[in-house]
Amino acid sequence: MTAVCVIGSQWGDEGKGKVVDILGEKADYVVRYQGGNNAGHTVIIEGKKYTFHALPSGTLRGIRSLIASEVVLDPRQLVKEIEGLDREVDLGIDPRTTIIMPWHNDIDIAREAERKKQTGSEIGTTAKGIGPCYEDDKNRSGIRFYELAGDKKRLEDRIKQVYETKKKVLNMYNTKPAQKLQEVIDQYTKLGESLKGYEADVSLEISDALKGKKNIIFEGAQGTLLDIKFGNYPKVTSSHPMSGSIFDSVGIPPIKLRTVGITKAYVTKVGSGPVVTCLDAGQWPVDETKSDAVAKYIRKIGKEVGTTTGRARRVGWLDLVALEYTHRINGFSEIALTKLDCLSGLRNINIATAYMHKGKKITDYKGWDLDFLNECEPYYETFDGFGDITDARTYRKLPKNAKKFIQAIEDRLNIPVSIVSVGPGREETIYRSFKKFK
Ligand code: GDP
Ligand code: IMO
Ligand code: MG
């Protein structure tokens, strides 16, 4: 058995999809273990773009793709993705997975409006119903996959029962469900029928796989700074992208994992919340009239627009204070550095190595205290820029200044940057110590 997890080390959109696809070449299983279709993972093969929200990105390789219990699953999106693929999917969905229902979207939208009214600031959720669905899971009223794909009458009864409660919740926000009860019953009964064949006890399947000589990828969604507990709460998602959560989602005891921290050569964030190195005037949504020229440059070259929502992502310099923190939480064995090509052409490149807080230099990340983070200023080390690197396929071919940038990450974290991505395509990759499955 070899098990590798692919974890976002920042605020999401680090390029997890690309790394999962690379590992997928010789994998037997790919397992999504948290989040839902708030994720948007992009894989580009021979110029063709594939975007995954509900399906694991490894699906493209034709390997066994599993959705584990802590995922919140939107069957409307899943069916769309399955039908949109030009190949068969070998998919298994854990019966315990909680299902996103139309009222979760309604409540997500209503809560965001309420937050804006009360505090002047929304989280900037994807409106995919993620938070409200996790709430139902935890308050023990969620509809689970075995119910969706099971007996029709039982599903109908469950929908009727929950619908009435959700009407009351939405009424509190002076709104009502976007869909009529019968519409939801008809839609979800049909979805349940078409997904019936996919039920699989993921815990059992992965337990067996771990006993054999199987290669397993655990595919994270979002990023550690969006973790419900260890991220910048409340400006976070409602799940645990961190590596430790894999075990309770899949239902296996803790095992030693190779943990690849996917790290973009700069940072981006969709949604509100503090980003100490932000170059967009700390502002959400982005107002480019207030942005630094570097932010506009990187956003353009890096196409930093949300895969799921189409919103401009805020951009900032690489933050080693935050990265050291997410390394501690996840125990990265290595870093996969992505989008280094998007820094090409800049005269100078900054990396935050510390923060200044009221005149004091600090290096520990207090990710939980947003007021404190908002008072921090980045303390930068400045590097000389480098030219085009998109054609580099070996470390040797990289310019000296690009190597210095990579070295700064390794020196700080004490782990290797095992792979460097210099473009979105599969082949636009420099392999160093990164090991593909055998
Ligand atoms: P994920 O959510 O972590 O899977 O990342 P996304 O797919 O949302 O965002 C990453 C974007 O950057 C996608 O459009 C990728 O195709 C693209 N990408 C990934 N690696 C690189 C890279 O090294 N260079 C460039 N220019 N684009 C990249
Ligand atoms: P991938 O997997 C970037 C952000 C949203 C919002 C916050 C909460 O592609 O990296 P939610 O809808 O989850 O309740 O929104 O989390 N967010 C992401 N940002 N990449 C993602 O996924 C994200 N998934 C959620 O923008 O700020
Ligand atoms: Mg994404």
Closest CA to 16 of 356, 346, 264, 248: 264
Closest CA to 41 of 32, 33, 51, 49: 51
What's the number of CA atoms in the CB half-sphere (13 Å) around residue 305?
7
Please tell me the predicted confidence (pLDDT) of residue 308. Answer: 74
CB of 274 closer than 6 angstroms to any ligand 1 atom? no
CB of 423 closer than 6 angstroms to any ligand 1 atom? yes
Write the single-letter amino acid at 367: G
Residue nearest atom 13 of ligand 1, based on CA coordinates: 42
Phi-psi domain of 124 (left: phi exceeds 0; alpha: psi -120 through 50; beta: other): left
d(C-alpha 210, C-alpha 375), whole Å: 46
CB of 341 closer than 6 angstroms to any ligand 1 atom? yes
Please tell me the predicted confidence (pLDDT) of residue 311. Answer: 85
Which atom, in ligand 1's list, is nearest to the CA of 340? 23
Same domain? 272 vs 406? yes
Same domain? 270 vs 333? yes
Residue 437 counted as domain residue = no
Q: Would you tell me how many other CB atoms lie within 10 Å of the CB of residue 413?
A: 21
Q: Give Cβ neighbours of residue 322 (< 8 Å, ≥ 6 apart).
A: 10, 225, 267, 276, 365, 367
Going through 220-373 in order, the beta strands assigned E by DSSP cover 258-264, 266-269, 314-319, 334-338, 348-357, 360-362
Give the mutation target among 6, 18, 41, 128 for probing the ligand 1 site: most ligand atoms within 8 A of CB: 18
Which atom, in ligand 2's list, is nearest to the CA of 271? 27
d(C-alpha 395, C-alpha 164), whole Å: 60
CB 5 within 8 A of CB 220: yes
DSSP code of residue 58:
G
CATH number assigned to the domain comprising residue 87: 3.40.440.10
Q: Give Cβ neighbours of residue 274 (< 8 Å, ≥ 6 apart).
A: 232, 235, 282, 370, 373, 374, 376
CB 224 within 8 A of CB 176: no
Cis peptide before 253 (omega within 30 of 0): no
Residue nearest atom 25 of ligand 1, based on CA coordinates: 423
From the CA of 271, how far away is ligand 3's center (Å)? 13
Please tell me the predicted confidence (pLDDT) of residue 282. Answer: 84
Residue nearest atom 17 of ligand 1, based on CA coordinates: 424
Residue nearest atom 16 of ligand 2, based on CA coordinates: 237
CB 6 within 8 A of CB 262: yes
Same domain? 130 vs 165? yes
Alpha helices (H) in 68-101, listed in sequence order? 75-84
Same domain? 228 vs 377? no
Same domain? 213 vs 318? no
- Beta bridge pairs of residue 45: 48
Query: Which among 217, 250, 283 is the end of a domain?
Result: 250
Residue nearest atom 11 of ligand 1, based on CA coordinates: 15
Same domain? 289 vs 346? yes
Residue 47 counted as domain residue = yes
Q: Which positions are catalytic?
A: 13, 41
- Radius of gyration of the chain from its Cα atoms, rounded to whole angstroms: 22
d(C-alpha 423, C-alpha 302), whole Å: 9
CATH number assigned to the domain comprising residue 343: 3.90.170.10
Same domain? 128 vs 182? yes
Q: Would you tell me how many other CB atoms lie within 10 Å of the CB of residue 301?
A: 15
Please tell me the predicted confidence (pLDDT) of residue 99. Answer: 98
Query: Which among 180, 196, 212 is the end of a domain?
Result: 196
pTM: 0.98
Same domain? 362 vs 411? yes
Domain enclosing residue 52, as ranges: 3-94+198-250
Q: Would you tell me how many other CB atoms lie within 10 Å of the CB of residue 214?
A: 18
From the CA of 123, how far away is ligand 2's center (Å)? 10
Residue 61 counted as domain residue = yes
CB of 69 closer than 6 angstroms to any ligand 1 atom? no
CATH number assigned to the domain comprising residue 153: 1.10.300.10
From the CA of 299, how far away is ligand 1's center (Å)? 12
Give the mutation target among 71, 109, 226, 284 for probing the ligand 2 site: most ligand atoms within 8 A of CB: 226
What is the β-pairing status of strands 41-45 and 48-52?
Answer: antiparallel
From the CA of 157, how far away is ligand 3's center (Å)? 36
Same domain? 303 vs 367? yes
What is the β-pairing status of strands 41-45 and 314-319?
Answer: unpaired
Residue 258 counted as domain residue = no
d(C-alpha 307, C-alpha 301), whole Å: 15
Same domain? 135 vs 68? no
CB 403 within 8 A of CB 392: no
Domain count for the chain: 3
Give the mutation target among 13, 71, 126, 239 for probing the ligand 2 site: most ligand atoms within 8 A of CB: 126
Same domain? 235 vs 313? no
Going from the first residue of the chain to its last (438 residues), give the mean pLDDT of each consecutive group of 10, the final group possibly shorter: 95 98 97 98 93 95 97 98 93 98 98 95 96 97 98 98 97 97 98 98 97 96 98 98 98 96 98 97 90 97 86 96 98 98 98 98 97 98 98 98 98 98 97 96
Residue 227 counted as domain residue = yes
Residue 255 counted as domain residue = no
CB 301 within 8 A of CB 260: no
Please tell me the predicted confidence (pLDDT) of residue 309. Answer: 78
Q: Residue 264: is it exposed, middle or buried by C-beta count within 10 angstroms (0-12/13-18/19+)?
A: buried
CB of 14 closer than 6 angstroms to any ligand 1 atom? yes
Same domain? 246 vs 295? no
